[in-house]
Amino acid sequence: MNDDMTARWALPLLAPGQAQKEMTHNEALAALDLIVQPAVVAAEVDAPPEGPAEGQCWIVGGAPTGGWAGHAGEIAGWTAGGWRFIAPRQGMTVWVADRRVAARYGTGWTFGEIAGETLLLGGEPMLASPAPAIPDPAGGATIDAEARATLAEVLDVLRRHHLVLSA
């Protein structure tokens, strides 16, 4: 096998004049099959499952055992050649089927968190960055005027967040 690998995913590269190039090529395809549009059966699993189907993957837990020992936090995929392991890279996102959420890798795996700047529904912004807090009403001789001013501030914030329409 050739020691030359790609920089990001350590996929094996073919070497000029290399014998049995199909082995290196097939190894790269097996790894690509695990990392392109990745989906796992479950996450934070420490023991390899009994009788996995070819192509099934798991995110290995923090205390792996058996054939997964030494691969904490990695993606374990069952292939025709046995277990293959993919070390996650920052920003990698994986669908976790049993939780029905996406998992994203940063310094570790986070599950079900969505990060963004604006939520668009039907092309329209629905949420934005939080506005400053609205202070509670305090004191005042005419409570109705103070309540109306507070409600106006609440409506202004709701409008800025596109949660209510402008009048």
9, part of any domain? no
Question: CB atoms < 10 A from the CB of 90, how many?
Answer: 8
98, part of any domain? yes
32, part of any domain? no
The parent domain of residue 131 ranges over 119-160
Domain identity same for 107 and 126:
no
Domain identity same for 57 and 107:
yes
10, part of any domain? no
| pLDDT 10s digits, 44-71 | 999 999 999 988 999 999 999 999 999 9
**Which pair of tokens denotes residue 50?**
């009994």
Residue 67 DSSP symbol: G
- Beta strands 39-40; 93-96: pairing state: parallel
Domain identity same for 106 and 126:
no
**Which pair of tokens denotes residue 10?**
């350590």
Domain identity same for 44 and 107:
yes
**Average pLDDT score over the chain:** 85
45, part of any domain? yes
**Helix, strand, or coil (residue 94):** strand
pLDDT value at 1 more than 70 = no
Domain identity same for 73 and 94:
yes
pLDDT band at 161; cut points 50, 70, 90: confident
| pLDDT 10s digits, 65-79 | 999 999 999 999 998
Domain identity same for 73 and 128:
no
Domain identity same for 66 and 130:
no
Number of domains present in the structure of the chain: 2
Mean pLDDT of 84-93: 93
129, part of any domain? yes
- Expressed in angstroms, the distance from the first to the final Cα of the chain is 70
